[in-house]
Amino acid sequence: MSKKPKLIVTRKLPFEVEARAMRDYDVSLNTKDTLYDTDSLLAACDGASAILACPTDNLSASVIKLLPHSIRIIANFSVGYDHVDIAAATSHGIMVTNTPDVLTDATADLTVMLLLGAARRASEGEALIRADKWDGWGPIHMCGTNVTGKNLGVIGMGRIGRAVAKRARGFSMCIHYHDEAPVPSEDDAGAIFHQNLDELLQISEFLTLHCPSTPQTYKLINADRIARMPKGAIIVNAARGDIVDDEALITAVRTGKIAGIGLDVYYNEPHLDPRYRSLENSFLMPHLGSATNETRDAMGFKALDNLDAFFIGNQPPNAVVDPLAL
């Protein structure tokens, strides 16, 4: 009987996922769910063949350089992999994988919640109830913004962007999108492609972000681009926090240029800009896009599927390739 590969799991995972990992691997679990610093991660990886990593792990080029040569694969418990330096991993012969598809619906559902919560001032309303400060119905009390029939701009028409667009059509929204190229006609369901981002922004009464975090998308939504949007627009972000320029967005909300925001992700999370908390017309969630029991189980199983394929000598189904290595 062959020896099981040694696997380091960096965070506490769902029960069924951990049970499968223990069955198939010589696994080191993080039962207390404490975050690894660089030294503790390197110590844990001594003699290991694989890391099952999470978005909270800092696998930068400098960290990857220090990993023991025994590490052959980093299987991410996430779709995003901006916490891993792919070029560095590739240069060190380390495979990197992710978990696409399985969290599309959960993230799209939460995006619609953000959109509705921001438009209808849900955080403000709930705060009134919880503080026992609601003094009754009024004709102009806490009026928000209609969603039905409005223009929704989608930046990034991938799996999640398309799933959000599908849901938004249930509110009779007119879908516009920007991406590197138009999606196939069978997938756009009548959505209107804008090659020019500024043109998309000019008509976006609602804007939702679903592009990856890259050097090209860093602070993509900045003061200049927000200025191009209609006054009173709503901005939603369930992608990555660094796509948004916090200073520009907070200023736009405070001046009334942007009527409301719905955020699930933040720059430098969990240490978000504290000014967001003081904005009454902000609907804020703690990175819960994929946080359903079914989705987190599926993410863990997909990460293990990638590991299983790798260790029997096959290409993992969700390998992440450094474009510069092609």
Task: For residue 36, tell me if it sits in a domain.
Answer: yes
- For the cut 70, the answer to whether the pLDDT of residue 74 exceeds it is yes
- For position 212, which CATH number holds? 3.40.50.720
Residue 128 and residue 140 in one domain: yes
Residue 253 and residue 109 in one domain: yes
Residue 28 and residue 43 in one domain: yes
- The domain in which residue 50 lies consists of 6-102+293-325
For the chain, what is the mean pLDDT? 95
Q: Where are the beta strands (DSSP E) in the chain?
A: 6-9, 26-28, 50-53, 73-76, 95-97, 151-155, 174-178, 192-193, 206-209, 233-237, 258-263, 282-284, 319-320
Report pLDDT for 186.
82
Distances from the Cα of 140 to the Cαs of 135, 136, 143, 144, 168, in angstroms? 13, 12, 6, 10, 27
Are residues 143 and 125 in contact, defined by beta-carbon separation less than 8 angstroms?
no
Domain count, the chain: 2
b or e along 3-14 (b: 16 or more beta carbons within 10 Å of the residue's beta carbon)? Answer: eebbbbbbbebb
Q: Averaged over 259-264, what is the pLDDT?
A: 98
Task: For residue 242, tell me if it sits in a domain.
Answer: yes
Task: For residue 1, tell me if it sits in a domain.
Answer: no
Task: For residue 70, tell me if it sits in a domain.
Answer: yes
Binned at pLDDT 50, 70 and 90, residue 2 comes out as low
Distances from the Cα of 201 to the Cαs of 3, 38, 177, 233, 235, in angstroms? 56, 41, 10, 10, 11
pLDDT tens figures, 96-139: 999 999 999 999 999 999 999 999 999 999 999 999 999 999 99
**Residue that is written with structure tokens 């350089």 in the block:** 65
Helix, strand, coil percentages for the chain (3-state, nearest 5): 40, 15, 45
Residue 271 and residue 297 in one domain: no
- For the cut 90, the answer to whether the pLDDT of residue 1 exceeds it is no
Residue 191 and residue 274 in one domain: yes
| pTM, two decimal places | 0.91
- For the cut 90, the answer to whether the pLDDT of residue 323 exceeds it is no
Residue 154 and residue 204 in one domain: yes
Catalytic residue numbers read 240, 269, 287
- For the cut 90, the answer to whether the pLDDT of residue 187 exceeds it is no
Task: For residue 71, tell me if it sits in a domain.
Answer: yes
Report pLDDT for 322.
60
| DSSP state letter for 35 | P
Report pLDDT for 189.
77
Binned at pLDDT 50, 70 and 90, residue 38 comes out as very high
